[in-house]
Amino acid sequence: MDVLAFQPLWTWLMANLWAEIAIIIVAAYFVSGLGELLIRPIVHLGVQRRKSDIDESDVKKRRDTMVALLRTLLKVVAWTAALLYIVHVSKIDLGPLLAGAGLAGLAIGFGAQSIIKDFISGLFIIFENQYRVGDTVTLGNSTGVVEEITVRSTILRDFDGNVHFVPNGTIGEVVNKTLGFSKINLTIQVKPDTNIDRLTEIINKVGTDMNNDKTWAKSIIQPPQFS
């Protein structure tokens, strides 16, 4: 690259702008820190317990995920704004640099669009309580237990132990198999001459006994029944 392109940068370094730059950096640090202090109480007020939440731990998971996402966004915005303002007050001519990196800038722009889409989709996933850490879900062609929800993606571990990284922006449909409760239908094969009435009585009695048993009572919402 032409050495002349770096002359504005050299002039900036030689100028007496360190005080103003220091103020900008301190301001960005202050805004970032103050925002982080305010984000948690605001999220705690906005994210309340819902009917689908089993206990307070579910609410805490959703709140912690939301706080982490918003903190990351705040830091990116604060320090990007600070960097742009430093460039502005320094009167650096970025024309030659941007011209030489035009294609790279275009690629970064498309990448940034993808990141923003993933981030916004992640926010809606948390706000709408579509799923939480620990839920068993199907996202597209991937099924597994949600291990983590990051700024960009959802991390699933399937029943074979494989880890799937699913970008939040690509999730078109969510099937949550453990939100609130789960249900399973079992098909039982019996002999043709089986007394169905007696079979129904036995199955319903076993289901009722399980529901009344202290070991199973906390895990059963409705007694298993023959249908």
The closest alpha carbon to 127, from 57, 39, 71, 50, belongs to 50
Which of 109-113, 176-180, 213-217, 218-222 is predicted least confidently? 109-113
Range scoring the smallest mean pLDDT among 55-59, 179-183, 220-224: 55-59
**Per-residue pLDDT reduced to its tens digit, 153-211:** 889 999 999 999 999 888 888 998 887 777 778 888 888 888 888 888 888 888 888 88
Largest CA distance in the chain: 98
43 CB contacts (<8 Å, ≥6 apart)? 63, 66, 67, 70
- Cβ atoms of 126 and 148 closer than 8 Å: no
Give the Cα-Cα-Cα angle 134, 135, 140 (nearest 5 degrees): 125
The neighbouring-strand residues paired with 149 are 154
| Phi and psi torsions of 171, nearest 5° | -80, 110
Residue 64 pLDDT greater than 80, yes or no: no
- Spatial CB neighbours of 40, under 8 Å, sequence gap ≥ 6: 63, 67
Phi and psi based region of residue 161 (left: phi greater than 0; alpha: psi -120 to 50; beta: remaining): left
pLDDT of residue 212: 86
